[in-house]
Amino acid sequence: MTYCVAMRLRAGLLFASDSRTNAGVDHIATFRKMSIFETPGERLITLLNAGNLATTQSVLSLLRQRLHQDGPHLLNVPSMYQAAELLGRTLREVVERDAGSGTLSQGVDFGANFLVGGQIRGEPPRLFHVYPQGNFIEATEDTPYFQIGESKYGKPIIDRVIDFDSSLTEATKCTLISFDSTIRSNLSVGLPLDLLLYRTDSLAPAQPHRVDGDDPYFNRLRRGWGEGLRRVFARLPDEDWFR
């Protein structure tokens, strides 16, 4: 499985993904789930993926290969909307190719979910969730974040602390806590994490961070959050249910 989060805040964009891929518990591997397409000063587009690894790798290979061909590609589409549309079309193309005949598919789920966000000069930053069917929705001020993969364990903390006006620093802190909760409760999500922050209108070169188990900040957060939760829990009132 996988866990990815992306947020579109007033201050900018956040992308985070784990790196564990598994087909059963005895076939676990590490794959990067974050892909960056950029022309500094003009556009930055980031993709996060979850789902069938053959499908997501093929989609990314085709998107990269087509950067050098005529026709629309991620470095020439004029808007993020068209980037999401192109991604959706490519996803459908791969799934139709691989699942197409049906006779060999034997119940395999060829589907994949993508988060695609970024900024192209002339537009504000935008963020989309592309579904396995190739259609997509866009993040808004009311719903400023999307998750794909094992999203449930880490959702409550985001729901409690994040809104459109959160800072990128707060959003990162919250995202790392959300990953910590997920990793503790679900073996199929694992370190290292890939993290990318983008400041609105900067159009600066991407500086992705890799956060592993030795990362001192991540470890301070994990410890502080775990201790803080237990402290809050211990101080909450008790009730005598047998009275």
CB of 69 to a second copy, least distance (A): 35
Instruction: Look at strands 43-51 and 112-120 and give their pairing.
Output: antiparallel
Among 153, 189, 193, 203, binds a second copy (CB under 8 A): 153
CB of 28 to a second copy, least distance (A): 20
- The 160-199 site mask, x for binding a second copy (CB under 8 A), equals xx------xxx-xxx--x---xx-xxx--------x-x-x
Q: What does the DSSP 8-state code read for residue 125?
A: -
Question: Nearer Cβ to a second copy, position 104 or 232?
Answer: 232
Is residue 156 near a second copy by the rule CB under 8 A?
A: yes
C-alpha 113: how far from chain center: 10
Structure tokens at 233: 């829990």
Structure tokens at 30: 């590490």
Helix ranges (H only) for 42-200 are 53-65, 80-99, 155-161, 168-185
Q: Which residues pair with 146 in a beta bridge?
A: 6
Is residue 135 near a second copy by the rule CB under 8 A?
A: no
Is residue 221 near a second copy by the rule CB under 8 A?
A: yes
Handedness of CA 50, 52, 55, 57 (dihedral sign): positive
How far apart are the C-alpha atoms of 27 and 10, rounded to whole Å?
A: 40
CB of 25 to a second copy, least distance (A): 17
State which of positions 196-215 bind a second copy (CB under 8 A).
197, 199, 207, 209
Helix ranges (H only) for 139-210 are 155-161, 168-185
Is residue 70 near a second copy by the rule CB under 8 A?
A: no
Which residues contact a second copy (rule: CB under 8 A)? 150, 152-157, 159-161, 168-170, 172-174, 177, 181-182, 184-186, 195, 197, 199, 207, 209, 217, 220-221, 224-226, 228-233, 235-242
